[in-house]
């Protein structure tokens, strides 16, 4: 059974850097994209970025200038750093595994099949 667990500070000061780590247990770490998704209180889901086991990344353009993701395959972990945070970055941050398949035209598509329980990060002085 695949399990994901977020860890990191629950409180970050404005202008500082938010750092979270996701530890994956069960299943293979390769083949998949590993992703971060956030949800501000009372709002919907926002994809932050995804990293392949090789280290290649995709980031949401609206956050790209502040986001950095890394992966450590030796311990099945991947991490998120979000710099220069403001109150608008207050959210529950989820890590998730993105599996893939192929549509009728042969194009690859991804969906999130396993999620962590979420980590609430508040930005406040």
Partner 1 sequence: QSVLTQPPSVSGAPGQRVTISCIGSSSHIGADFDVHWYQQLPGTAPKLLIYANNVRPSGVPDRFSGSKSGTSASLAITGLQGEDEADYYCQTYDSSLSDPWVFGGGTKLTVL
Kindly state whether residue 90 participates in binding partner 1, applying the rule CB under 8 A.
Answer: no
Q: Give the integer Cα–Cα distance in Å for 79 and 71.
A: 6
Kindly state whether residue 62 participates in binding partner 1, applying the rule CB under 8 A.
Answer: yes
The least distance separating partner 1 from the CB of residue 96, rounded to whole angstroms, comes to: 8
Q: Is 76 helix (H, G, I), strand (E, B) or coil?
A: coil
Kindly state whether residue 31 participates in binding partner 1, applying the rule CB under 8 A.
Answer: no
Kindly state whether residue 61 participates in binding partner 1, applying the rule CB under 8 A.
Answer: yes
The least distance separating partner 1 from the CB of residue 24, rounded to whole angstroms, comes to: 15
Quote the tokens at residue 119. 């980590």
Binds partner 1 by CB under 8 A, chosen from 19, 40, 112, 122: 112
Neighbour-count burial for 11-49, b at 16+ CB within 10 Å, e otherwise: ebeeeeebbbbbbbeeeebeebbbbbbbeeeeeeeebbb
Q: Which stretch binds partner 1 (CB under 8 A): 7-15, 20-28, 79-87, 99-107?
A: 99-107
Is the separation of the CB atoms in 26 and 1 below 8 Å? yes
Give the residues across from 95 on adjacent strands: 36
Would you say 62 or 70 has its CB closer to partner 1?
62
Name the site residues for partner 1 (rule: CB under 8 A).
Answer: 35, 44-47, 50, 58, 60-62, 94, 98, 101, 103-105, 107-118
């Amino acid at each position: 059974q695949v399990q994901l667990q977020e860890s990191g500070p629950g409180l970050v000061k404005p202008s500082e850097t938010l750092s979270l780590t996701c530890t994956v247990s069960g299943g293979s770490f390769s083949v998949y994209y590993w992703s971060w998704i956030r949800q501000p209180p009372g709002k919907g889901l926002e994809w932050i970025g995804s990293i392949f086991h090789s280290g290649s990344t995709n980031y949401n353009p609206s956050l790209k200038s502040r986001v950095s993701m890394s992966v450590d395959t030796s311990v099945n972990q991947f991490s998120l750093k979000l710099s220069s945070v403001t109150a608008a970055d207050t959210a529950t941050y989820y890590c998730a595994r993105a599996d893939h398949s192929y549509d009728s035209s042969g194009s690859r598509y991804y969906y999130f099949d396993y999620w962590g329980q979420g980590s609430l990060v508040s930005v406040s002085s």
